[in-house]
Structure 1
Amino acid sequence: MIHINVPDTQTLVEKDGITKYTAFNIHINGWFHAAVRFSHLYQVAEMIKQRFGSKYNGPDFPPKKLFHLDEKQIEDRRNKISKYLSTLVQNTDIIRSSLVEKKFLELQVNFFRTTSTHVSVDIYLGDGERIVVKCNIDSPTNVVLRQLSDQLGIKDPEIFLWNFGLFMACPKDTDGIDFNVLCVRFLRNFESPYISLQTANMKSTGHGIHHKLVLRKLIWDPRIEEALFEDSTLTKLLYKQAKNDFLVGNFEAVRSDIVDRLRSCEKNEDHIQFLRLCHLQPSYSYEILADCFSDNPRPNTRCSIKIGRRQLVLGFENGEEAIYRATRIRVWRISPPEEDGPMIFQFEYLMAKDDFEWVTLYTDQAIILSLLLQCVGTEILQEHRNMSIEQQLMTNGGGSGMSVFLEPSKAPLILKPTLSVPEDDFVETETNIMPNTSSQTERKTSSHSIYSLRSAKSAITSIEETSSLDRGDPLGVADLYDTSNDMFTTISDALPLHNSAFANITDDDL
């Protein structure tokens, strides 16, 4: 998933050191990606027109101008570029194309203006072990991961790409004794990990924050981990992360004798038994995110947040927890921040029979939270396909792309499935969105159409009939948000945001 924002422009100087030009600042997933001149964006638009022709039916890319533009005209051009990109990413035939992916990578590489072609990338495993990967500066994420798998001696790189992801992370504490990191960005194949890391650190080092590239598992169900035990290298990767997560307190053993057994397994280097003991601990296999604020149980309540095991868990200062099962989440959405506040992540949850309520979180990690929720949804979807875990690992499921837009009016975003299923399998319901009760976030809201699937089976059938365009995204299943505005955009090369996995909610889920 790619969230694109073109918030402003900047004036850059040509290589001759004299000529100046205006560049449009592109931010992806909340991070600066590149400053791109109009002519380069125009070339991308022309390539898309030639390659895809009538498949794109949105607003035209702004035309060239013979004369110099004033500030008002530049701002108008920026808005038109945003609207063009917003419509472009709604077309799954275009956004799933490797050409679009490659073009975004080229824009990033061209802006970076490096004199080196070959670089080294430090990637940290789950326990902090550093692996140096030599690659080209324009190597995208999947290429870097494949080179890492070769260095680690992994038998099947496809299974590795399926189950592990590359994240940008920063330390949770300042003492640096333990490898305790917070994942802040999920790197995808439209970007160079080396450039993304360098660009982020150039902006954050002055604030005392140094980011690293870390490898994290993208699986939460212990059964899937069991299926990976046949590969000793993959088992060791899982073990390294599990051991470190236990060391830094990301999960706890339920009994003291379990702690002793874990230490014994660690001493004897019994990786499989260590992991199987971890599987028995309810708090294992969660990704811990930064603290946020919630409107539950009261407005402006500070809470911790973690996601995994097919549920979202909020922890409060009084020691209580609120557990939200993914199978009871009907829809989720991301809204732009109120002024300088954090982004808003909301999901509609089945609180009781026939009683859906919106839960609101205020967090700057809304995007990565959405991506991780997609991972959980993927596991649920695969389970509905009635496939064994081994078949899931070896089968390549395809699907459509997805888009996310944040409107300039700051209206919330609603997710709707767009799979190729009969219209009878869709239910359209009008849902009244309740205004936030916090005085800091009061805003007007209105009714929105929310689409859900009556039957996950029909959606699954359509998925199985669609082949993935990208072997680096074997879980390629995705949806569209119900909007067409221009602030934030998503290009789907990520784990799928497939709400139909949660759509078959019944009273049994209570």
Structure 2
Amino acid sequence: MHFSIPDTTEISAKNSNNQQSYTLFNIHINGVHHCSVRYSQLRTFNEELQRLLPSAMANIEIFPPKKFFSLSPKETEDRRVLLEHYIQSIVQNKFIITSSYFKEFFLNAQRETFTTESFDNNDKINLTICLLNNHELIIENLSPNDNTSRLLDACALKLQVQQDFLTYFSLYLYEQKDNQLNIIRPLYEFESPYLSLKQLKKTYQQSCIVLKKSYWDLDFDLKLLDDRRARNLLFVQAQYEIEQSQDLYPSDIYRQLDILRENKSFKDYILLARTSKFYGHIILQKCSLLYPINETTKQKLCQCLLAIGNNELLCCFNLDEKKKAKEVSLKVTRIRCWKVNWTKQNVDISVEYLIQKGTLIWITIHTEQAALISSCLQSMVDEIIAKRIDTTSPVTTSNESTTERALPKTANGLATRTEADLERLNNNDIFDRNDDDDL
């Protein structure tokens, strides 16, 4: 998650309930306005975290001190910058962001900011949840104040999916454009889906909430196949991913998949779909980065398609229509760290990458979906680390929506690469294959 406080809002005494002017600090998450809070609210937030989680707060940026006199515009701007640094250091700590107090504070702050009419426990709404095959679920009798976890539980009840299998799925915000669904971001547990969707529609009119799987390790598919309802959800996503990638990568399996779908052989369909190139990937169309990716050859900013999945960022360049498209795989296990750069002029994500043994370089991907890529990288790293720590016992990890859920681990290491994956990596000439080390 990328938290920022890009600006403030001044409330005059005339518009204030207590007839006193004050400043609201507008908190944005992944570039979207989440809430507006006063300095005093953030000070209470900091004090409570210091009391509840003293160890986790030990390395957090210092909270800006209280002033006893009115602030000048420059002092207000200085406070805004310090508060932004403070909140950004807070959200780097997983113990803090998964705490009940953190979730409660930001959920209540969102409610206070965007709830124009008062709701009580008796007010009910209906929310439409989409699946990736354009099927819609109507979730009834929700409160506008319900958080993401409550909505996910309601989806499970509607679909009659067991809680054990629900841990493999999460809710996401998507844009519907040109009969396609484009992912925007996950829904977090500290927000109201109703209010977030309502706010998002101001920017993306055709936006919706989508239920889809939330893991990257393809071995988890095998745990869902023997349950009919979980398998049906997995089939919906598999079919969507095949349709998304069919024009990008020609293969002989598509005809076989059509036959299996027509025969309603969903289990066999999923097993065959897993061998396709872009299965389990999120595909982002509008990205660009410097190519070739090295320090010696002249580089040029080129547009590319970015496929995220299978513990890699796969950059697909169409440099020349007469030549075969060039592909570069950035393995997650060779990324030392990454950072999201968010300015009014540009949004990008930079990764420090082990290009060869002993050589790290920064690679910058320019895309409006930089925060989403960061979230995907973090969840892939979480799964890799959890598996390496314990490959046999259930491990609690954070999925893309930062919800703590128990994901059962497999016993045979990372997901097996397909023949197409191995061929692609063998042809990736930007790496010295003798020094292909993980970090």
Please confirm whether the aligned pair reaches a TM-score higher than 0.5, indicating the same fold.
yes
| 1:307 aligned counterpart, secondary structure | strand
The 1:70/1:52 distance shift into structure 2, 3 A limit, reads: same
Identity fraction in percent: 26
CA shift, 1:237, in A, is 0.7
**Partner residue in 2 for 1:241:** 237
| Count, aligned residues | 394
**Partner residue in 1 for 2:103:** 101
CA shift, 1:17, in A, is 11
* 2:374 equivalent among 370, 375, 384: 370
The 1:64/1:51 distance shift into structure 2, 3 A limit, reads: same
The 1:270/1:104 distance shift into structure 2, 3 A limit, reads: same
The 1:338/1:67 distance shift into structure 2, 3 A limit, reads: closer
CA shift, 1:353, in A, is 4.5
The 1:291/1:159 distance shift into structure 2, 3 A limit, reads: same
CA shift, 1:334, in A, is 1.7
* 1:123 equivalent among 129, 136, 143: 129
Asked if 2 retains the 8 angstrom alpha-carbon contact of 1:334 and 1:366, the reply is no
Alignment of 1:20-419 (within 5 A): 21-52=22-53, 56-57=57-58, 61-65=63-67, 67-89=69-91, 93-113=95-115, 114-116=117-119, 117-134=123-140, 135-155=142-162, 157-161=163-167, 163-171=168-176, 173-174=177-178, 176=179, 180-202=180-202, 204-205=203-204, 209-249=205-245, 255-256=251-252, 258-297=253-292, 298-317=299-318, 318=320, 319-326=324-331, 328-337=333-342, 340-350=345-355, 352-385=356-389, 387=391, 395-397=394-396
Q: Output the CA distance in 2 between the equivalents of 1:398 and 1:239.
A: 24
Alignment of 1:476-495 (within 5 A): none
Task: Report the structure, 1 or 2, having the larger strand content.
Answer: 2
The 1:17/1:201 distance shift into structure 2, 3 A limit, reads: farther
| 2:395 aligned counterpart, secondary structure | coil
The one-letter code matched in structure 2 to 1:72 is K
CA shift, 1:253, in A, is 7.3
The one-letter code matched in structure 2 to 1:286 is H
The 1:87/1:349 distance shift into structure 2, 3 A limit, reads: closer
Asked if 1 retains the 8 angstrom alpha-carbon contact of 2:353 and 2:361, the reply is yes
Runs of 4+ in 1 over 6 A off after TM superposition: none
Asked if 2 retains the 8 angstrom alpha-carbon contact of 1:246 and 1:252, the reply is no
| 1:56 aligned counterpart, secondary structure | helix
Between 1:110-119 and 1:63-72, the stretch displaced more is 63-72
The 1:81/1:219 distance shift into structure 2, 3 A limit, reads: closer
CA shift, 1:158, in A, is 4.0
The 1:325/1:342 distance shift into structure 2, 3 A limit, reads: closer
Q: Which runs of 5 or more residues in structure 2 are unaligned?
A: 293-298, 409-432
Aligned alpha-carbon RMSD (Å):
3.2
Asked if 1 retains the 8 angstrom alpha-carbon contact of 2:283 and 2:307, the reply is yes
Superimposed CA distance per residue, residues 197-217 of structure 1 (whole angstroms, 9 cap, x where no aligned partner) = 111212x15xxx422111222
Between 1:327-336 and 1:231-240, the stretch displaced more is 327-336
Asked if 2 retains the 8 angstrom alpha-carbon contact of 1:123 and 1:133, the reply is yes
Q: Which runs of 5 or more residues in structure 1 are unaligned?
A: 402-469, 477-504
The 1:25/1:229 distance shift into structure 2, 3 A limit, reads: same
| 1:198 aligned counterpart, secondary structure | helix
Q: Output the CA distance in 2 between the equivalents of 1:325 and 1:506.
A: 17
The 1:506/1:168 distance shift into structure 2, 3 A limit, reads: farther
Q: TM-score, normalised by structure 2?
A: 0.79
| 2:127 aligned counterpart, secondary structure | strand
The 1:55/1:222 distance shift into structure 2, 3 A limit, reads: closer
The 1:127/1:341 distance shift into structure 2, 3 A limit, reads: same
The one-letter code matched in structure 2 to 1:119 is I
